Amino acid sequence: MNFELTIAPLNDIKSDLQIIMVVENDLKHSFIHDKKLLKKAGFKGGQDETVLFLEHDRLYVGVEKISGANIRTATASAIRALASTKYKHISIASYMNSEKCTAMLRAMVEGFILGAYRFETYKSEKSINPVKEITISLEEYHGYTLNIDVCAQTLNRAQIVAEATNFTRDIVNTTPDDCYPDVIAQIADTLAKENGLECTVLKPKALKKEKMEALLAVARASRHKPRVIHLAHKPENPKAVISIVGKGLTYDSGGLSLKPGDYMVTMKSDKSGGSAVLGIMKAVSDMNLPIEVHGFIGAVENMIGGDAYKPDDVLKAKNGKTIEVRNTDAEGRLVLADVLAYAQQEVKADYLFDFATLTGACVVGVGNYTSGVMGNSDIPKNLIIDAAQSSGELVTKLDFNRYLKKTLKSEIADICNISNTRYGGAVTAAMFLSEFIDDAHKDKWAHIDIAGPAFVEHVWGENPHGASGAGVRMMVRLLEKLTQHKV
């Protein structure tokens, strides 16, 4: 889709169709031309409710109140409603909640791009999005006067982050037979070449040299050898240095602690954290943010076989700590333990974040749509929560406590890879990871469990069936905010 900004009033734009938002069920606004028809159609003006009047080439969509989240899902619903039509060029006015803030414009553009997404790689007949051109009038709902140059910059950033999110969705949705560790490395290498990033890929010999024995154990039974990937965006005089680590389990069978059959379905999504890192690095480099960002991915496949690692094994992680394995399906934390240690060795960061589809317990605790953020300090956790609110992603804080820490105690090693209680699994998994954070990064680190929103098998908000690209928008927003403030 191509976007165009214009100072021309909405009714002066020659387009195939107008999209008009009905805000707070206000049918008296001058944008609304079909008041009687809307009442006759039973239109209630509920959030994301749509009605299409073909005879007038107008689509109405309800918005409870003007906010980024509401505008984003409304435009996503609107673009979906047009999927089976023949409209190629659509137009829409601007809807802001402030004359100086263009966040609503960003939400609008993101909603169009994210809502139009389809993953049809494996379908013999592919649908075609009819909408090719979207013209946005700077005629504003409240009558605000908008700066076209500022709006153009906002539109550009919205396109970049939405396209990076869709890029991430494509990787997550790709099947494990087509997307294994070496493929992830190839995607990273191509991205680096296209976007001017530095790229380092560690293969098994290098991983052995780096003493990543926990990660290597997880990968041992797979025919696909593991990779650890390091991408770097290094502008001159960066305002901050940030490291982001992603869990890239390209498939997780559970290992010898085998998952039930229905739990194996959708396990291609276990690479969502690593895929998010790729999307974040794409957006950061496309925007050329004045901030140094390092992305690390542990790309591994957890399979079964005669060489599989086993419950009762004791593994030695990169930082020297020994781990008693009591469940081979708690493998993501083993991979992250080594990659986190490697990231801290390679980069002394102002902040360190990791993204992972780590625990079903997080989904049980906060639902399908919300990520859990954990860590030792409120400072990085609050950065994530603030950025998530701005970006439209849902995040909640889950606190550590000393009583749960005791449940990870091992009698034969430094720590156990699962707790001795079935409760608080998201927190105990994060507390396990905290054992692999060094003193220099202890209060600079936050773990984000995206197990819920990363992959949902139905449409929700601006997200499609399948991969959502969870983590990309919130982290890019956080990085943008860091460029505006001294760290």
Question: Could you tell me what percentage of the chain is helix, strand and coil, using 3-state DSSP and rounding each to the nearest 5?
Answer: 35, 20, 40
Write b or e for each residue in 309-344: b if 16 or more Cβ atoms lie within 10 A of its Cβ, otherwise e: beeebebbbbbebebbbbebbbbbbbbbbbbbbbbb
pLDDT at position 99 is 83
The pLDDT score that the predictor gives to residue 486 is 60
Average pLDDT for runs of 10 along the chain of length 487: 97 97 93 94 95 97 97 98 96 93 96 97 93 98 95 98 98 98 98 98 98 98 98 97 98 98 96 98 98 98 97 98 98 98 98 98 97 98 97 97 96 98 97 98 98 98 98 98 81
Count CA within 13 A, CB hemisphere, residue 111: 27
Pick the CATH number of 163-483 from 3.40.50.800, 3.40.50.300, 3.30.530.20, 3.40.630.10: 3.40.630.10
Q: Which one from 259, 321, 326, 397 is the annotated catalytic residue? A: 259
Beta bridge partners, 241, equal 292
Coil/strand/helix, residue 218 = helix
Note the pLDDT of residue 183: 98
User: What is the reported pLDDT for 40?
Assistant: 95
CATH number of 2-146: 3.40.220.10
Q: Which one of the listed residues 220, 268, 318, 333 is annotated catalytic?
A: 333
Q: Is 205 noted as a catalytic residue in this protein?
A: no
- R_g of the chain, CA atoms, integer Å: 23
CB 156 within 8 A of CB 279: no
Contact call for residues 95 and 147 (beta carbons, < 8 A): no
State the pLDDT at residue 487: 63
Establish whether 333 is a catalytic residue.
yes
Q: Where are the domains of the chain?
A: 2-146, 163-483
Work out the number of other CB atoms within 10 angstroms of the CB of residue 89.
Answer: 17
| Pairing verdict, β 455-456 and 466-467 | antiparallel
